């Protein structure tokens, strides 16, 4: 299955993080002719996820942005608002467009090899990479090795683990119902019986939108319950009774206080496996993009990848404080996000969620949140 014995770069897993690095490498003539191996369990033929993120300028994948919005809305029982977010835009990329785009580029380069199979184990000693793939053992000579297959937590007792899980439907209506100019980022008007729960709505046009039902809780729901909640939300809050479900997606993202290792025995963990999923929000796409650019810049400059800085400690601290509060139900998530959006400019909230604020900004934001639960959770984390 694996054709050659020696590669400059090997990627275990060929999803968002690996493809984001590989395409950047291929577009940079500095890396011409470098031998690359990408391994995944199966070819990407399905629209298995939809990425939303915000950005000020045109990003690396701007050509495949399916829809973008200048205004986002927030709803809760206490506060609702439409917010213009300039200079940011809220952007959406469909998984299948991303995969097609990346593999179309990859197909133009004979120096990139694709191999499919289940990666059971892998380890590295010097340049020697050992992989067990579908039960077969391979020993390769590898320059750099990147892994995006999430590894089990060796010390899970120490970390707080929540799941962000969601089901989404692309719904189509016979009449105009949606305002395509506004994306609903969070709508907390749904019941909070299971824990922090919200819906979001991404309208593509007046008659089509992706509607998602999302929870930050310890356990998944039975599949049928997501469907019922979606139906309720669409009927009660969007006031739509007749619609067709064009597509469905279901996802689970770990929200964990676990300290993901970036480098382990000469292998670089990337994407969710490398801790690029923000523990308190599940947003990952932009963190992957920023990190991928850094990786390629470092490789190009001949700098050691281990020198790429980790997420600043204080942001991990904020994430863990929020996780602790949600995990132990110290404060309902809808109240926290309501305060965040009600008392801060949306651009400031987005910058904060991007880990791009200054300490002074963060102190101002923290001051808008309920003091006591955050203080006691912070003391616990310290």
Which one of 10, 149, 185, 349 is in contact with ligand FAD (CB under 6 A)? 149
Give the nearer residue to ligand FAD in terms of CB position, either 199 or 272: 272
Contact call for residues 255 and 161 (beta carbons, < 8 A): yes
Instruction: Please give the Cα distance from 162 to 256 (Å, whole number).
Output: 6
Residue closer to ligand FAD (CB basis): 255 or 340: 255
Q: Scan for tokens 């992957």, then name that residue.
A: 288
Instruction: Tell the smallest beta-carbon distance from residue 15 to ligand FAD (Å).
Output: 2
- H or E stretch including 211? strand 208-217
Binding mask 274-313 for ligand FAD (x = CB under 6 A): ---------xxx--x-------------------------
209: contact with ligand FAD by CB under 6 A:
no
Among 83, 119, 305, 353, indicate the residue that binds ligand FAD (CB under 6 A): 119
Tally of CB atoms within 10 A around 272: 23
User: Which residues share a beta bridge with 51?
Assistant: 93
Among 9, 10, 11, 14, binds ligand FAD (CB under 6 A): 14
CA contacts within 13 A on the Cβ side of 2: 29
Site string for ligand FAD, 75-114 (x = CB under 6 A): ----------------------------------------
Q: Would you say 42 and 68 are in contact if contact means Cβ atoms under 8 Å apart?
A: no
State yes or no: residue 254 binds ligand FAD (CB under 6 A). Answer: no
**CB closer to ligand FAD, 40 vs 330:** 40
**DSSP alpha helix (H) spans, the chain:** 16-26, 95-106, 223-236, 285-300, 313-327, 333-343, 346-353, 359-367, 371-381
Q: Site residues (CB under 6 A) for ligand FAD? A: 13-18, 40-41, 49, 51-53, 118-119, 148-149, 249, 251, 253, 271-273, 283-285, 288
């Amino acid at each position: 299955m694996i054709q050659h014995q020696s590669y400059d770069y090997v990627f275990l897993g060929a999803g968002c993080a690996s493809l984001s690095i590989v395409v950047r490498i291929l577009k940079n003539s500095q890396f011409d002719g470098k031998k690359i191996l990408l391994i995944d369990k199966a070819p990407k033929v399905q629209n298995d996820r939809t990425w939303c993120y915000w950005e000020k300028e045109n990003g690396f994948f701007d050509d495949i942005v399916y829809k973008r919005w200048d205004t986002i809305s927030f709803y809760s029982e206490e506060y609702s608002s439409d917010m213009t977010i300039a200079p940011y835009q809220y952007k959406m990329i469909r998984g299948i467009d991303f995969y097609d785009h990346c593999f179309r580029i990859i197909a133009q380069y004979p120096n990139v090899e694709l191999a499919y199979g289940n990666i059971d184990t892998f380890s590295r000693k010097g340049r020697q990479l050992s992989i067990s793939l579908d039960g077969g053992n391979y020993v390769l000579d590898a320059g750099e090795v990147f892994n995006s297959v999430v590894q089990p937590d060796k010390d899970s007792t120490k970390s707080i683990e929540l799941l962000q899980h969601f089901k989404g439907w692309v719904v189509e209506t016979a009449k105009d119902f949606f305002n395509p100019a506004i994306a609903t980022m969070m709508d907390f008007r749904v019941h909070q019986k299971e824990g922090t729960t919200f819906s979001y709505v991404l309208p593509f046009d007046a008659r089509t939108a992706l509607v998602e039902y999302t929870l930050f809780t310890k356990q998944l729901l039975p599949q049928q319950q997501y469907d019922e909640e979606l139906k309720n939300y669409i009927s009660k809050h969007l006031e739509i009774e007749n619609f067709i479900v064009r597509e469905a997606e279901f996802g689970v993202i770990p929200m964990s206080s676990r300290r993901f290792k970036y480098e382990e025995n000469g292998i670089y963990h990337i994407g969710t496996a490398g801790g690029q999923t923000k523990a308190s929000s599940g947003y990952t796409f932009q963190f992957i993009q920023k990190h991928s650019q850094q990786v390629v810049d470092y490789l190009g400059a001949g700098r050691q990848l281990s020198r790429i800085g980790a997420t600043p400690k204080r942001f991990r601290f904020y994430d863990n404080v929020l996780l602790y509060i949600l995990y132990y139900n110290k404060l309902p998530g809808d109240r926290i996000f309501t305060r965040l959006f009600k008392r801060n400019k949306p651009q400031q909230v987005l910058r904060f969620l991007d880990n791009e604020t200054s300490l002074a900004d963060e102190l101002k934001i923290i001051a808008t949140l309920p003091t006591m639960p955050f203080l006691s959770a912070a003391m616990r984390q310290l």
